[in-house]
Amino acid sequence: MVSFDNVYQCFDLDSKIVLGKDRTSYEIQGKWNEIHFKNDQDITLELACGRGEYTNYLAEMYPERNFLGIDIKGARIWKGAKIATAKGLSNAAYLRTKIERIEHFFGEDEVSEIWITFADPFLKKGKSNRRLTAKSFLERYRKILKPGGIVHLKTDNDVLFEFSLEQIDEYPHAKLIYSNWDIYSNPLEFKELEGKTYYEVMHLAKGITIKYLQFTLD
Protein backbone atom coordinates (compact mmCIF):
# COMPACT_ATOMS: atom_id res chain seq x y z
CA MET A 1 0.00 0.00 0.00
CA VAL A 2 2.79 2.45 0.85
CA SER A 3 4.21 2.09 -2.67
CA PHE A 4 1.11 3.65 -4.28
CA ASP A 5 0.96 7.35 -5.15
CA ASN A 6 -2.83 7.31 -4.81
CA VAL A 7 -3.33 5.79 -1.34
CA TYR A 8 -3.43 7.53 2.05
CA GLN A 9 -3.86 5.75 5.38
CA CYS A 10 -4.60 6.69 8.98
CA PHE A 11 -3.87 4.18 11.73
CA ASP A 12 -4.14 6.49 14.76
CA LEU A 13 -7.80 7.05 15.62
CA ASP A 14 -6.92 10.22 17.54
CA SER A 15 -4.97 11.81 14.70
CA LYS A 16 -5.79 13.81 11.58
CA ILE A 17 -2.46 12.82 10.02
CA VAL A 18 -2.50 10.47 7.04
CA LEU A 19 0.41 8.53 5.60
CA GLY A 20 0.96 8.59 1.85
CA LYS A 21 3.58 7.01 -0.37
CA ASP A 22 6.69 5.84 1.51
CA ARG A 23 4.89 6.72 4.77
CA THR A 24 5.15 10.45 4.15
CA SER A 25 2.81 12.19 6.60
CA TYR A 26 0.25 14.83 5.65
CA GLU A 27 -2.35 16.87 7.49
CA ILE A 28 -4.64 16.80 4.49
CA GLN A 29 -7.96 18.10 5.82
CA GLY A 30 -9.18 20.78 3.42
CA LYS A 31 -6.13 20.31 1.18
CA TRP A 32 -6.88 17.31 -1.04
CA ASN A 33 -6.77 19.30 -4.26
CA GLU A 34 -3.65 21.16 -3.17
CA ILE A 35 -1.67 18.19 -1.86
CA HIS A 36 -2.81 15.29 -4.04
CA PHE A 37 -4.86 16.18 -7.11
CA LYS A 38 -3.00 19.43 -7.93
CA ASN A 39 -6.13 21.06 -9.38
CA ASP A 40 -9.35 22.76 -8.28
CA GLN A 41 -11.83 20.15 -9.56
CA ASP A 42 -14.87 19.02 -7.57
CA ILE A 43 -14.32 16.08 -5.20
CA THR A 44 -16.64 13.08 -4.99
CA LEU A 45 -16.34 10.43 -2.25
CA GLU A 46 -17.30 6.77 -2.45
CA LEU A 47 -17.87 5.50 1.10
CA ALA A 48 -17.27 1.84 1.97
CA CYS A 49 -15.76 1.65 -1.50
CA GLY A 50 -14.61 -1.98 -1.27
CA ARG A 51 -12.57 -2.79 -4.35
CA GLY A 52 -13.17 0.71 -5.71
CA GLU A 53 -15.21 -0.32 -8.73
CA TYR A 54 -17.41 2.77 -8.52
CA THR A 55 -14.58 5.13 -7.67
CA ASN A 56 -12.68 4.06 -10.77
CA TYR A 57 -15.82 3.84 -12.93
CA LEU A 58 -16.82 7.42 -12.11
CA ALA A 59 -13.24 8.66 -12.49
CA GLU A 60 -13.18 7.28 -16.02
CA MET A 61 -16.60 8.75 -16.78
CA TYR A 62 -15.74 12.21 -15.43
CA PRO A 63 -12.06 13.05 -15.98
CA GLU A 64 -12.84 16.67 -15.11
CA ARG A 65 -13.67 15.69 -11.49
CA ASN A 66 -11.74 14.11 -8.60
CA PHE A 67 -12.78 10.90 -6.84
CA LEU A 68 -11.81 9.38 -3.50
CA GLY A 69 -12.71 5.88 -2.34
CA ILE A 70 -12.82 5.38 1.43
CA ASP A 71 -12.74 2.05 3.26
CA ILE A 72 -11.05 0.50 6.30
CA LYS A 73 -10.16 -2.76 4.54
CA GLY A 74 -6.64 -2.52 3.16
CA ALA A 75 -6.85 -5.49 0.79
CA ARG A 76 -9.90 -3.99 -0.90
CA ILE A 77 -8.33 -0.57 -1.30
CA TRP A 78 -5.16 -2.17 -2.65
CA LYS A 79 -7.20 -3.71 -5.47
CA GLY A 80 -8.92 -0.45 -6.43
CA ALA A 81 -5.73 1.60 -6.20
CA LYS A 82 -3.82 -0.92 -8.34
CA ILE A 83 -6.47 -0.81 -11.07
CA ALA A 84 -6.61 3.02 -10.97
CA THR A 85 -2.82 3.13 -11.31
CA ALA A 86 -2.83 0.66 -14.21
CA LYS A 87 -5.47 2.73 -16.00
CA GLY A 88 -3.66 6.00 -15.38
CA LEU A 89 -6.59 7.50 -13.46
CA SER A 90 -4.86 10.49 -11.91
CA ASN A 91 -8.25 11.75 -10.68
CA ALA A 92 -8.87 8.65 -8.49
CA ALA A 93 -7.37 8.20 -5.03
CA TYR A 94 -8.05 6.18 -1.89
CA LEU A 95 -8.19 6.84 1.85
CA ARG A 96 -7.98 4.01 4.36
CA THR A 97 -9.75 5.01 7.56
CA LYS A 98 -12.98 4.59 9.51
CA ILE A 99 -15.87 6.49 7.95
CA GLU A 100 -16.93 7.53 11.46
CA ARG A 101 -13.93 9.89 11.36
CA ILE A 102 -14.60 11.35 7.93
CA GLU A 103 -14.87 14.96 9.09
CA HIS A 104 -11.28 14.80 10.38
CA PHE A 105 -9.94 14.41 6.84
CA PHE A 106 -12.11 16.82 4.84
CA GLY A 107 -12.73 20.51 5.37
CA GLU A 108 -15.94 22.49 5.27
CA ASP A 109 -17.45 22.53 1.76
CA GLU A 110 -14.52 20.46 0.42
CA VAL A 111 -16.72 17.66 -0.96
CA SER A 112 -19.23 18.10 -3.78
CA GLU A 113 -20.85 14.66 -3.82
CA ILE A 114 -20.99 11.36 -1.90
CA TRP A 115 -21.76 7.84 -3.14
CA ILE A 116 -22.68 4.97 -0.82
CA THR A 117 -22.62 1.76 -2.85
CA PHE A 118 -23.70 -1.59 -1.39
CA ALA A 119 -22.59 -0.72 2.13
CA ASP A 120 -23.07 -3.15 5.03
CA PRO A 121 -26.74 -2.83 6.13
CA PHE A 122 -25.88 -3.84 9.75
CA LEU A 123 -29.01 -5.91 10.27
CA LYS A 124 -28.19 -7.21 13.76
CA LYS A 125 -30.22 -5.76 16.62
CA GLY A 126 -28.75 -2.54 18.01
CA LYS A 127 -26.49 -1.93 14.98
CA SER A 128 -28.69 0.47 12.97
CA ASN A 129 -26.64 3.45 14.19
CA ARG A 130 -23.72 2.08 12.15
CA ARG A 131 -25.61 2.32 8.87
CA LEU A 132 -24.05 4.98 6.65
CA THR A 133 -27.36 6.80 6.25
CA ALA A 134 -28.07 7.05 10.00
CA LYS A 135 -28.64 10.63 11.14
CA SER A 136 -25.30 10.66 12.96
CA PHE A 137 -23.58 10.08 9.62
CA LEU A 138 -25.74 12.67 7.87
CA GLU A 139 -24.45 15.17 10.43
CA ARG A 140 -20.88 14.25 9.48
CA TYR A 141 -21.57 14.57 5.76
CA ARG A 142 -23.21 17.96 6.25
CA LYS A 143 -19.97 19.30 7.76
CA ILE A 144 -17.94 18.55 4.62
CA LEU A 145 -20.46 18.78 1.76
CA LYS A 146 -20.93 21.93 -0.25
CA PRO A 147 -24.45 23.41 0.00
CA GLY A 148 -26.69 21.41 -2.33
CA GLY A 149 -24.17 18.57 -2.56
CA ILE A 150 -25.83 15.28 -3.47
CA VAL A 151 -25.61 12.02 -1.52
CA HIS A 152 -26.34 8.82 -3.50
CA LEU A 153 -27.28 5.42 -2.08
CA LYS A 154 -27.24 2.27 -4.22
CA THR A 155 -28.13 -0.95 -2.42
CA ASP A 156 -29.71 -4.38 -2.73
CA ASN A 157 -31.02 -4.34 0.84
CA ASP A 158 -34.68 -3.47 1.50
CA VAL A 159 -34.12 -2.77 5.19
CA LEU A 160 -31.30 -0.31 4.56
CA PHE A 161 -33.24 1.42 1.79
CA GLU A 162 -36.39 1.85 3.91
CA PHE A 163 -34.28 2.98 6.87
CA SER A 164 -32.53 5.55 4.68
CA LEU A 165 -35.81 6.99 3.45
CA GLU A 166 -36.98 7.32 7.06
CA GLN A 167 -33.76 9.01 8.16
CA ILE A 168 -33.92 11.49 5.30
CA ASP A 169 -37.54 12.29 6.13
CA GLU A 170 -36.73 12.82 9.83
CA TYR A 171 -33.50 14.80 9.42
CA PRO A 172 -34.39 18.49 9.01
CA HIS A 173 -31.42 19.32 6.77
CA ALA A 174 -32.06 16.52 4.25
CA LYS A 175 -34.23 16.71 1.14
CA LEU A 176 -35.05 13.64 -0.93
CA ILE A 177 -34.58 14.21 -4.68
CA TYR A 178 -35.20 10.77 -6.16
CA SER A 179 -35.87 7.18 -5.08
CA ASN A 180 -36.45 3.94 -6.96
CA TRP A 181 -37.01 0.48 -5.49
CA ASP A 182 -36.01 -1.33 -8.71
CA ILE A 183 -33.75 0.66 -11.01
CA TYR A 184 -33.61 -2.03 -13.70
CA SER A 185 -37.37 -2.39 -14.06
CA ASN A 186 -37.18 0.43 -16.65
CA PRO A 187 -34.39 2.11 -18.60
CA LEU A 188 -31.89 3.69 -16.23
CA GLU A 189 -32.59 7.35 -15.55
CA PHE A 190 -28.97 8.23 -14.65
CA LYS A 191 -25.96 7.07 -16.64
CA GLU A 192 -23.88 6.82 -13.44
CA LEU A 193 -25.99 3.81 -12.45
CA GLU A 194 -24.66 1.76 -15.34
CA GLY A 195 -21.55 0.95 -13.29
CA LYS A 196 -21.75 -2.31 -11.34
CA THR A 197 -19.76 -3.40 -8.32
CA TYR A 198 -18.63 -6.95 -7.58
CA TYR A 199 -21.52 -7.37 -5.15
CA GLU A 200 -24.11 -5.90 -7.49
CA VAL A 201 -23.26 -8.45 -10.17
CA MET A 202 -23.76 -11.24 -7.63
CA HIS A 203 -27.07 -9.81 -6.41
CA LEU A 204 -28.44 -9.42 -9.93
CA ALA A 205 -27.52 -13.03 -10.72
CA LYS A 206 -29.73 -14.06 -7.79
CA GLY A 207 -32.64 -11.93 -9.03
CA ILE A 208 -32.35 -9.37 -6.23
CA THR A 209 -33.64 -5.91 -7.12
CA ILE A 210 -31.31 -2.92 -6.87
CA LYS A 211 -32.52 0.23 -5.16
CA TYR A 212 -31.26 3.79 -5.54
CA LEU A 213 -31.94 7.18 -4.01
CA GLN A 214 -30.38 10.60 -3.88
CA PHE A 215 -30.78 13.50 -1.50
CA THR A 216 -29.20 16.81 -0.60
CA LEU A 217 -28.08 18.29 2.71
CA ASP A 218 -28.45 22.04 3.25
Domain CATH for 79: 3.40.50.150
Residue 134 belongs to a domain: yes
The DSSP string of 5-72 is TTEEE---TT--EEE-GGG-EEE-TT-HIIIII-S---EEEEET-TT-HHHHHHHHH-TTSEEEEEES
* pLDDT for the residue numbered 175: 98
pLDDT at position 164 is 98
Give the residue numbers marked as catalytic: 120
Q: How sure is the predictor about 215, in pLDDT bands with cuts at 50, 70 and 90?
A: very high
Q: Which of 66, 70, 71 is nearest to 43 (CA)?
A: 66
Instruction: Tell me the mean pLDDT in the region 79-88.
Output: 97
For range 202-213, the mean pLDDT: 95
- pLDDT category of residue 198 using cuts at 50, 70 and 90: confident
In this predicted structure, the answer to whether residue 11 has a pLDDT above a threshold of 90 is no
Length of the chain: 218
Report whether 42 contacts 63 (CB < 8 A).
Answer: no
DSSP string, 130-162: GSTTSHHHHHHHHHHEEEEEEEEEEES-HHHHH
pLDDT above 70 coverage of the chain, percent: 100
On whether residue 47 sits in a domain, the answer given is yes
In a domain, 26, yes or no: yes
Q: Does any domain span residue 119?
A: yes
Q: Is residue 128 part of a domain?
A: yes
CA 167, CA 151: separation in Å to the nearest integer?
13
pLDDT value for 82: 97
Domain count, the chain: 1
**By residue range, what is the domain housing residue 85?**
7-217
Q: Tens digit of pLDDT for each residue in 147-197?
A: 999 999 999 999 999 999 999 999 999 999 999 999 999 999 999 999 998
Do the domain assignments include residue 25? yes
Tell me if 135 is assigned to some domain: yes
- The tens digit of pLDDT for each residue in 107-150 reads 999 999 999 999 999 999 999 999 999 999 999 999 999 999 99
Strand order in the sheet with 174-180: 25-27, 17-19, 7-9, 92-96, 66-71, 43-47, 111-117, 145-155, 211-217, 174-180
Cα radius of gyration rounded to whole Å, the chain: 17
pLDDT the model gives residue 12: 84
Residue range 61-76, pLDDT digits in tens: 999 999 999 999 999 9
End-to-end, the C-alpha distance of the chain in Å comes to: 36
CA–CA separation, 88 vs 186, rounded Å?
34
Q: Among 25-34, 164-173, 194-203, which stretch is predicted with the lowest mean pLDDT?
A: 194-203
Examine residue 1 and state whether it is found in any structural domain, yes or no. no
